[in-house]
Structures are given as C-alpha cells and as structure tokens.
Amino acid sequence: MRETSMPAAGWCLAVFVVFELFIAFWISFYIICPRCWPFPQPWEPPSSTDPHCPVPPCVRKCCPLGEQLVKDMELSRTICKPTNSSEFSLESVSLWGNNSIGEHLVARDYDRFQIINYGLCPHGLYVLDPSYEEDRNALLANGSLVLLQSKEAVDHKEYCIDTYKGKEGTIVFRCFPEPLTDGMTEMEKMVFPVALAVSIPFLLFTVLVYLLLPELQNLHGKSLLCHVTSLSIAYIFLALMQSNFLSMNVEQPTLCVVCAFVIQFSFLATFFWLNIMCFDIWWVFSGLRPLRGSVKEREHKKFIFYSLYAWGCPLVIFIISLVIELVPSIPDSFIKPQFGVDKCWFKTSEALVLYFYLPIGVLVLLNIAMFVTTAFRLRMHTRDTKVLQTSESRRNDEAERQRFNLYLKLFIVMGINWVMELVSFVVGGPKSIWFVTDLGNTLQGLLIFLIFVCKRRILRLLNQKLCPRWELVGPTASSRSKVSPSRTSSTSLSKTVSSNPDGLSLKPIARAASEESDSNN
C-alpha cells in the first residue's frame, strides 16, 4: 500500500485555520465574559455578601457617628460616649495604591470608602502606634488595613478607626482576636479563673508565714520563700492578663507587653528556684564535701550562689527576649516573642517553645534525674547504716529525709503538672482532655500552702508568735520524745563505719548529711 503525504501548502492551511479558530474563541470569550479577561476594567463598586459592608470598600469606625472612645474609670475599660467634636477623619491614615502591598503612596482618595459601625471589638482593642515600626499601617484600596513591617493585611472585622478623648486626631486600633477555647466548656472557663483567684491568697499567706517566723529563715526557708514569691508574682500578673483590664485599656497599650515579660520572668524564676531546692537536697546525699566555715557561713555562701543562678538565668533569658523583641535592627529571621501582637503572650508556638517551654522542660528533666539519684542514695544510706547510727545521726538523717519528702511533694505539685502541660502542648487536642492537670496548675498555691504551712510544727510556731498566751496547737510527737543528743564524735562514727567494708563508700554521705542537716533543723 502506497503512503500518501500532505503537501506543505496543506500544512500551512491547517495551521492557519486552527489559529483563526483560536482567535475567534478568545474574542467571543471576551465579549461574553469581559470580567474574565485580564485587561484593565473601569472601577465599579463590587457586590458584597458582607452584611456589615454592603457596598465595599468599607472602613470601620469604632463608635457610631457622633460618638468617640472614652476611658471609663469605674469600669476600667474603654466605652463609646457622645461628643460634639468633629475631629474624626480618614485624612491622617496613609493609603496604598492597590490591594497589594506596593512601594508608594497614592493621592488621598478617601471618598471611595464607606464608613460603617457595628459595635466595639468584642474582645477588646489596642492602639496601633505608628512610632513603633511593627505598628506602622496603611489602608488598602479594598478597605483592608495592612501592617507594613509584617505585611499582614486584616479586614474591617479586625480593626477600627476613631478618635479618643484626650488624644489628637484619628487613631487606628487593632481588635484582640477571640480567645482560643480549644473545646473548653463554659464550666472550665469559669473554674480556672476561680481556682487562680483561690491560689493567689494562699501563696501570699505562705510568703507571709515564712517572713514572720525567724525559725524558718534558714537556707531551705529562704529558697522556698523565693520560689513562692516568684510564683505569686506570676499568678497575679496571669490573673491580670486574663481579665478585661488589659484588653480594654487602650490608653496604656504597653501594659500588655510588660505583663507578658513579667509572667515569663516570674515563671522561669519559679522553676529555677525549684531546681535549686532539688540540687540542694541532692548535694546533701551526693557525698560531695560541704563548703568551709560554720553552718551560718555555709548557708550564707550557698544562698548567694543559689541566688546568682536562680535569678541570673531567668534574667539572661528575659534580656535576650527583650533585645530581640525591641531592637529594630534585628532581622525578622530571628524568632521574636512578639508580645502584644495578637494577645498579651507569645504570638507563635516557636517563640513559646524557645523562650519558655524549652528552659522549663530542661529544668524538669534535671529535677527528675536529681530526685531519682537522691532517692536511691537515701535508700542505700539508710539500709547500710541502720545498725551503726547514733541517736544524733539518726535524728539528722530523719530531718533530711523529711526535707526530701517535702521537696518531693513540691516537685510533684509543680513538676508533674508542668510535664503534662508540655505534653499537652506537643500532643494538642481539646483542652478538656487536660482539665485535671490544668486545674492542678491553677491550684498550686493551695497545695503549696498545705504542704509547707499546714504542719504542726509551723502552726505551733505561729501560735507562739501570734497568741503566746493560749496554746492552740499542741507539741509535735518528736518534740515530746526528744532526748539529749548523743556525745559520740563524728570521728568514732567514721571509724565504726569504716570498719565495715560494705560501708566504706557511704562514709562521706553520712558525714555530709550530718553536717548539712545542722543548717535545716
């Protein structure tokens, strides 16, 4: 069979016909659907399904026409009140040339915007101060507000513009977003603030008791006092942050940022002081040589070292966060806390992990390791020296054992709950799943008060301090059965222990525990 081929003229004719059909198709498409064609079109007011903005573009006024924002001192929040002032104008707001973030400003064409109002921001609002680089803003042609540094554009549901009594000109405000409930029920929203309000007085009571009783102001008492004081400050500012005071206080927007920094520093200091107490009891049973000097001198030196560590490390993290947050020359590639951008806390989960959860997680792991090691050494020491101990060393060991138990309870209250907090952050899921641990976190003040204040010895000291004429609390069992300390020297005890081959490695532990216990009895 002979093959036939199309001549060159036929190929040219076919290509020409296809090209003509293609042109005819697009001309017809342009006539039928002119809006689908990417040629410039005359501007027409687009239709809108937004009930608040039937004819876009729209700009939201915070208050109805004829009203302005006013700080109500009785309600401690911002409200709308009638005014005779005619200062409201969009003239002070910058405009960008199109709906994207361009590089130039356009002529001030404000007539195209529809001024709308449908109430104040439901979750509060804060000032966008253009003197701060991150707050510089402008209006796009479609009515959206763009933050120039972050290139974030928000519509009229997330911002509003109005005058503020006592301030000049028109001010741009950003609405706080709706708080994330993560599936929390109404009961949980009510229970957590109440539990936090219960914890704060008990924390303050604990601080007051340890300040009032000189007998408790040893190394252990001072460390606990610093720990509880830090937690008290954190809880007070946390309660302030969860209230409407900050979200409604547009007159002092920096309060939101200050509150976040204080909470960060206070919580970190709380965990560093818990780490100090874990380290202190670990040192007693580690076999390490104690510091030189008398008991009082040793306590003073250790407390200075502990304070430098427990206050210094949170301060370093705080300063790093502050510098990265506030220095404009630091590039955006750095993870910044961005306090007060969307809420009075870290904006991103990366910043939350880096500046908060990561240090806490490391400290919790260190505390677990020290508690496990101390418990093992304490058990071995008790078993191997049970027969050889004098009454004095037995009493010293019992005091250290009681202190270890107190710290263990404190670690369970603080550590376990925060371990679950970290797990819930990583795993996620509805907030209601972690209700028990979250409730335990908010009730830490009550639990600490029960552990460290509601003890017969401390209650008796309070009785003697405040009501010496009446014996409201009886003596403890240990004080009733107290005997005079043994006069056996530490040298004879060491010789006795060293005569037992199984006890050779425990001699430093026995000596260290005996010496360190003097500072905590």
Domain containing residue 70: CATH number: 2.170.180.11
Whole-angstrom distance, CA of residue 57 vs CA of residue 137 = 17
Q: What is the domain extent for residue 380? A: 186-478+494-517
Tokens of 470: 């009446």
Ranges of beta strands (E only) in 319-387 are none
Asked, for residue 424, whether it belongs to a domain, the answer is: yes
Q: Which residue has the tokens 């707050």?
A: 135
φ/ψ of 37, rounded to 5, equals -90, 135
Q: pLDDT tens digits for 294-347?
A: 778 888 899 999 999 999 999 999 999 999 988 878 887 788 888 877 677 888
User: Contact 245/251 with Cβ under 8 angstroms?
Assistant: no
Higher pLDDT, 27 or 56: 56
The whole-number pLDDT of residue 137 equals 86
Of 118, 78, 148, 72, nearest in space to 332 by CA: 148
Selection from 49-53, 360-364, 472-476 with the highest mean pLDDT: 360-364
Same domain, 78 and 101: yes
Q: pLDDT tens digits for 488-509?
A: 433 332 333 333 333 333 333 3
pLDDT higher than threshold 50 for residue 521: no
pLDDT range class, residue 229, cuts 50, 70, 90: very high
Instruction: Give me the number of domains the chain comprises.
Output: 2
Q: Percent of the chain beyond pLDDT 90? A: 14
Same domain, 341 and 424: yes
Asked, for residue 28, whether it belongs to a domain, the answer is: no
Asked, for residue 51, whether it belongs to a domain, the answer is: no
3-state SS, residue 91: helix
User: Contact 87/169 with Cβ under 8 angstroms?
Assistant: yes
Whole-angstrom distance, CA of residue 63 vs CA of residue 116 = 9
pLDDT higher than threshold 70 for residue 33: no
A 10 A CB-CB count for 61 gives 22
Same domain, 171 and 211: no
Same domain, 318 and 365: yes
Residue range 379-395: mean pLDDT, rounded:
58
The whole-number pLDDT of residue 409 equals 74
Higher pLDDT, 273 or 483: 273
The whole-number pLDDT of residue 106 equals 52
Whole-angstrom distance, CA of residue 444 vs CA of residue 415 = 11
Q: pLDDT tens digits for 80-126?
A: 888 877 777 777 777 765 555 444 445 566 777 888 888 888 877 88
pLDDT higher than threshold 50 for residue 161: yes
Whole-angstrom distance, CA of residue 225 vs CA of residue 270 = 10
The whole-number pLDDT of residue 387 equals 46
Asked, for residue 30, whether it belongs to a domain, the answer is: no
Asked, for residue 209, whether it belongs to a domain, the answer is: yes
Same domain, 302 and 331: yes
